[in-house]
Amino acid sequence: MIMISDPKNNKPRQAQTGAFLELAFRPFFLLASLFSILSLLLWNGFFTGDVTLHVYGGPLWWHMHEMLFGFVAAIIIGFLLTAVQTWTKIRSLNSTGLLLLVAVWMIARGLFLLPNSVPHWLIALLDIAFLPLATAALAYPIIKARLWRNLIFIPILLLMSIANISMHSKVVTPLEPFIDNSSTLMVLLVTLVMSIMGGRVFPMFTANGTQTARVEPIAYLEKVVIGSTLLALISSLPFIKLPSTLSAAIFFIASAAHAVRVFRWKIWVTIKTPLVWSLHISYWCIALGLFIYGLSEVSTMVNHSQAIHTLTVGAMATMILSMISRVSLGHTGRKIEVGRIMTFGLIAIILCFVIRVFLGYFLSDYRYVISIAVGFWVIGYGCFVTLYFPILSKPRQA
C-alpha cells in the first residue's frame, strides 16, 4: 500500500531541521508548482510572439522537457521521498541533503535560460543528475528495510533518467523523431506511475472521503491494467516499429481496462468531495488519453498532441494538483478538506485540459487556445501556491 503520511516518531526532528526542509514534499510541491506557472507564461509569450525566448534546446524542446522533467519529475520525487519514510519507518532525505537535491533541480532550471553563457555539457550534466540522485535517496531506505515490493519505482525512475538523456541528445544531434519518442516515453512512464499509485490509494481515498464502502480490486483486472499500460509504453520505444493498427489496438485495450477500473470506483459518490472527484476525473483522463493515442494511430480525427496533452494536462496536472493539495494538508496536521478557492483551482485545471485539447476545433487562431489554457493553468496552480505557501513553510500543526 502506498501511504503518504508522516511517521509519528519523526515529528520532533522538524524543529531541528527547519519546517521547509523537513520532508521532500514541502520544497518540491511548492517550487515545482511555482515553476510550472512561470515556465508556461514564458512559453505562452514565445508562442504569441510577445517574448523572445533564448533557451537551451530551443523553445519547443525546452517547453516539452521542462514540463516533464522539470515540473512533473520534481513532484514525483517529492511524493516518493515523502512516502518512503512511511513505508520503511526510516528517516528519508531532509535538511542539508534535501537542500542539495533541491539546489541541483533549481540550478538546472536556471541554467536552461543561459544557453550562451554556460557550456551545454554542464547544463545537461546538472539536469541529468537530478533523477539518479533522487533515485539513490529513495532506494537506500527501501533496501535497508527490505521492502522489495516498493523497489518497482527504482527501475521506473532509472528509465525516466534514460528518457532525459535521450532528450538531451537531441540538442547535439538533429534527429527530430528522437525528441518525440523520448518525451512520449516519459509521458507513458508517468502514466504507469499514476496507474500503480492510483490503483493502490484512490479506492481508499474514495471510501474515506465519501464514507462509503471501499471498492475492492479485481485481481485479473489489475493485471490487465498494468500489463496493457506497460505494453503501450514498450510499443512507443523508438527502436520498436509496430503496424499502426496493432499499436492502436494495444492503446485501445489499455484505455478500456483503465475505464473499467475507474468506473468501478464510482465517481458519482464523490460529487461533494473535491479532493476525490478531481482524482477520479484525472484518472478518467488516463483512459481518454490512451484512447485518443490509439485513435491518432489510425485516424485523422485526432492527433498525437491531443493524446499527449490529455495525459499530461488532463491526467497528470489534475492528479498532481489534487494530490499535492491533499498530501500537504495531511502531512502538516491539518484536516483534509479544501475550501472554495482551491476547489475553483481544481476546476480551473480541468478547464485548462478541455481547452488545450478540444478548443482548437472551434478557434482557428491557435494562439488563443494556448493563451486561454495557460491562463486557467495559472489560476489553478496559482491557487495552490498562494494558499499553501504558509502551510508548506511553517511547522506541522500539533
Which residue matches cell numbers 505562452? 44
Q: Report pLDDT for 171.
A: 85
Q: pLDDT class for 178, splitting at 50, 70, 90? A: low
| CB half-sphere exposure, 201, CA atoms < 13 A | 19
| pLDDT exceeds 90 at position 354 | yes
Query: pLDDT for 133-142, tens place per residue?
Result: 999 999 999 9
| pLDDT exceeds 70 at position 6 | no
Q: Report pLDDT for 5.
A: 44
Q: Report pLDDT for 148.
A: 84
Q: Report pLDDT for 174.
A: 59
Whether residue 166 contacts residue 185, with contact meaning beta carbons closer than 8 Å, is answered with yes
Cα separation of 262 and 80, whole Å?
23
Q: What average pLDDT score do residues 362-378 get?
A: 95
Query: pLDDT for 330-340, tens place per residue?
Result: 999 999 999 99
C-alpha cell at 302: 485526432
Cα(first)–Cα(last) distance of the chain, in Å?
A: 26
Phi, psi angles (nearest 5°) of residue 395:
-60, 155
Query: pLDDT for 294-353, tens place per residue?
Result: 999 999 999 999 999 999 999 999 999 999 999 999 999 999 999 999 999 999 999 999
Query: pLDDT for 187-222, tens place per residue?
Result: 999 999 999 999 999 999 999 999 999 999 999 999
Q: Report pLDDT for 8.
A: 44
Phi, psi angles (nearest 5°) of residue 295:
-65, -35
Q: What average pLDDT score do residues 30-44 get?
A: 97
Q: pLDDT class for 398, splitting at 50, 70, 90? A: low
| pLDDT exceeds 80 at position 3 | no
Query: pLDDT for 104-125, tens place per residue?
Result: 999 999 999 999 999 999 999 9
Q: pLDDT class for 240, splitting at 50, 70, 90? A: confident
Q: Report pLDDT for 114.
A: 94
Number of Cβ atoms within 10 Å of the Cβ of 16: 9
Whose CA is closest to 251, among 278, 231, 277, 279? Answer: 231
Whether residue 384 contacts residue 43, with contact meaning beta carbons closer than 8 Å, is answered with no
Q: Report pLDDT for 396.
A: 87
DSSP string across 348-364: HHHHHHHHHHHGGGT-S
| pLDDT exceeds 50 at position 130 | yes
Q: pLDDT class for 147, splitting at 50, 70, 90? A: confident
Whether residue 167 contacts residue 179, with contact meaning beta carbons closer than 8 Å, is answered with yes
